[in-house]
Amino acid sequence: MYEKIQHLSKELEALIVTTAQDAEELRIKWLGKKGYITVLFDEFKTIAADQKRSLGQPLNALKNAAQEKIQALRHATVQETVATSADCTLPGDPQLFGARHPISIVRNEIIEIFAHTGYTLAEGPEIEDDWHVFSALNFPPEHPARDMQDTFFVRQSDNAVVLRTHTSSVQVRVMELQQPPIRVICPGRVFRNEAVSARAHCIFHQVEGLYIDENVSFADLKQAVLHFAQEMFGKETKIRLRPSYFPFTEPSAEVDVSCNICGGKGCNICKYTGWLEIMGCGMVDPNVLEANNIDSKKYTGFAFGMGIERIAMLKWRVRDLRLYFENDVRFLAQFTAVV
């Protein structure tokens, strides 16, 4: 019997299998009801007591070794089955990448264009007081913008609290803290009491620019605007300034760029004029400088303000403003490729 145990131990060591079925057959052959081990144990019962003493230990060792080995072989074939059943030719699970919002894309582009000519970023609060939105910007007391029809009031009183209607309020915040030279670009969200439609929204975004120093002229303003327009819409872009009125600038102008769709020939986007309006601008009114403790005899400056949605609309020809606020992923996902 001892020889049999020895022999089976050697055989056990050499066992290999390739499939789960082989492993199962081995289990039956070795550990099953009529398996080698079971038969040996039956035989063990019949041998003399003194022999049992010397054979019990090697027999148990063989049984344990057989159980361990066959278990290990089975395990290996199961793992192999899992590994080989993976189909490496299947396409991977797609990972959805987020996209920047088109308004953020344009906002960042505007900031970057002005950063190249030395403008730094400034921001201010969305909930503002009358002073920063209107009074310090030379709005007369009876100006219609102060009316509830146009402005959202948080509190109506002598010094009302409002949702800012333009980012020009950030100009005032900057002038309060800083003496010239000032060169800032101020992006932000603004609010107006408008019925929502394809062409108007009660929330939108603006970027304000302010440059104050000694000897700043209207020619500097024109050059700054031209540089921006060509960086944003292409080197061929032309600008034209039309006289306009804003309480905080004198003289004031509205800026048009040559239509980037028809190249100025006339199309339905530019309403056959060849021009698209992009911003308001002007020389900072001396009253505004004085209201903010800046010496208007020594310093002059220019300011400009534009709507980010307006620039985005011209850039991507998306004509319905509401799309920028609805956060419909079918719309937003179209901007994944734009950085």
Report the interface residues with ligand DAH, using CB under 6 A. 166, 168, 208, 246, 249, 280-282, 303-305
Nearest residue (CB) to ligand DAH, 281 versus 313: 281
Nearest residue (CB) to ligand DAH, 166 versus 183: 166
Nearest residue (CB) to ligand DAH, 247 versus 274: 247
Nearest residue (CB) to ligand DAH, 74 versus 227: 227
Is 38 in contact with 32 (CB distance < 8 Å)?
yes
What minimum distance in Å lies between the beta carbon of 335 and ligand DAH? 26
Supply the DSSP string of 222-286, one letter for each residue. HHHHHHHHHHHH-TT--EEEEEEEETTEEEEEEEEEE-TTTTTS--TTTTTSSEEEEEEEEEEPH
Chain Cα centroid distance, residue 47: 81
**Which phi and psi angles does 264 have, rounded to 5°?**
95, 0
What minimum distance in Å lies between the beta carbon of 95 and ligand DAH? 41
Closest CA to 200 of 335, 331, 334, 324: 324
Nearest residue (CB) to ligand DAH, 180 versus 305: 305
Q: Count the neighbouring beta carbons within 10 Å of the beta carbon of residue 137.
A: 26
What minimum distance in Å lies between the beta carbon of 282 and ligand DAH? 4
* 210 vs 282: CA distance, rounded Å: 10
Nearest residue (CB) to ligand DAH, 41 versus 245: 245
What minimum distance in Å lies between the beta carbon of 245 and ligand DAH? 10
What minimum distance in Å lies between the beta carbon of 192 and ligand DAH? 9
Tokens describing residue 283: 């020389």
Q: Where are the beta strands (DSSP E) in 78-149?
A: 120-121, 127-129
Q: Report whether the peptide linkage leading into residue 181 is cis, meaning its omega lies within 30 degrees of zero.
A: yes
CA 2 → CA 38, 40, 44, 76, 261, distances in Å?
15, 10, 11, 31, 97
What minimum distance in Å lies between the beta carbon of 281 and ligand DAH? 5
What minimum distance in Å lies between the beta carbon of 225 and ligand DAH? 11
What minimum distance in Å lies between the beta carbon of 277 and ligand DAH? 11
Is 22 in contact with 16 (CB distance < 8 Å)?
no
Nearest residue (CB) to ligand DAH, 70 versus 212: 212
Q: How far apart are the first and last CA of the chain?
A: 80
The residues near 214 (Cβ < 8 Å, ≥ 6 apart) are: 180, 298, 299, 300
Strand partners, 249: 246, 284
Nearest residue (CB) to ligand DAH, 233 versus 246: 246
Nearest residue (CB) to ligand DAH, 208 versus 256: 208
* 303 vs 116: CA distance, rounded Å: 17
What minimum distance in Å lies between the beta carbon of 333 and ligand DAH? 31
